[in-house]
Amino acid sequence: MNRLLAISIAAISVGAISVLAQQLEIPKFDGVEVTVLQAEAIASYDASEAGQGAAADADYFYAIVNSNIGKYEKTSGAFVDRWAGVRGGPIRHINSCYVEAAELLCANSNYPELPMASSIEIFDTETMEHARSFSLGIMEEGSLTWFDRLGAGWIAGFAHYDATGGLECKDHSFSAIARYDSNWRRQGGWMIPASVIQRMKPMAASGGAIGPDGLLYLSGHDRPELYVLAAPTMGPKLVHIATIEIDAEGQAFAFDKSTEDRIVYAISRPAQQVRSFRLPQIELPEGAHPLNSPAVIESIF
């Protein structure tokens, strides 16, 4: 089939679909209006490790950069302790962490090496010693940048890049969200909507977490924004419902799970600071669900 004939057939097909839609009175999908909100700044602290992300528990916050994690007092910002890996060692690019049961759970990758490989590294928050490791190895999903609990299993974000550390066959738009059971067996996943992933171009989501409202919050590489995503009623793509402006230039963040006050800790890489914020409440639009709702958690057929 020559190229001109193929184009003509395609045009006829599109026209036929349009006529059919009019005849059947099929409404056009208008999408969801994205609400723009503002995070409330609470405090900021100098931290030399504030290069990749931050986490917090009841008494301390943690600043993360590649193979170093600093522990600081919440009240004063005073330095307490540090875990320091060796340069070029097995832990070389910690992307994000969060605190759970006196442990710091961290997403680590071999970025910018190829092929992409990832692991989960766990640290004792009291001693700041490395406790254990779980290797994911080479993943078709991409490079692990964040993960969190979802029901009895896990949710995780994987990155693809347009430039350094990326694959020639997959650009940033292949970055996605995956679901796993408690043993890290894949149970499904979602696409990131274009309204979010284009804001992260040419990189990907550096941070992500399930909020206390069950919605997914994502941060990109360098924009001072958090993106709030809900699960769709149908289809493979998450629903972008809100963007929160925040005085932190991308990178990873974490909810302070010791409080129900919607507090997150993030970083300003240029200022080498860890900053805390209170996030606004999010109104869930019709046709969208929290990711931890029974309709989503129990959706395996």
Phi–psi pair at 145, nearest 5 degrees: -115, -25
Mean pLDDT confidence for 204-209: 94
Mean pLDDT of 176-205: 93
The range of the structural domain enclosing residue 70 comes to 33-297
pLDDT tens readout for residues 117-147? 999 999 999 999 999 999 999 988 999 999 9
Q: Which CATH number belongs to the domain containing residue 136 in this structure?
A: 2.120.10
Concatenating the DSSP letter of every residue in 78-117 gives -EEEEEEPPTTSS---EEEEEEETTEEEEEEE-TTSSS-E
231 domain-assigned: yes
The alpha carbon dihedral of 44, 50, 51, 54 has a sign of negative
Give residue-wise pLDDT tens across range 74-133: 999 999 999 999 888 899 899 999 999 999 999 999 999 999 999 999 999 999 999 999
- Residue 22 in domain: no
Collapse the DSSP code of 63 into the 3-class scheme (helix H, G, I; strand E, B; otherwise coil) and give the result. Answer: strand
Measured between alpha carbons, how far is 200 from 173 in angstroms, rounded to an integer?
9
181 part of a folded domain? yes
Q: Is 69 within the bounds of a domain?
A: yes
Q: Which residues pair with 240 in a beta bridge?
A: 229
Q: In the sheet where 68-73 sits, what is the strand order?
A: 53-56, 60-65, 68-73, 79-84
**Residue 194 CB: number of other CB atoms within 10 A?**
11
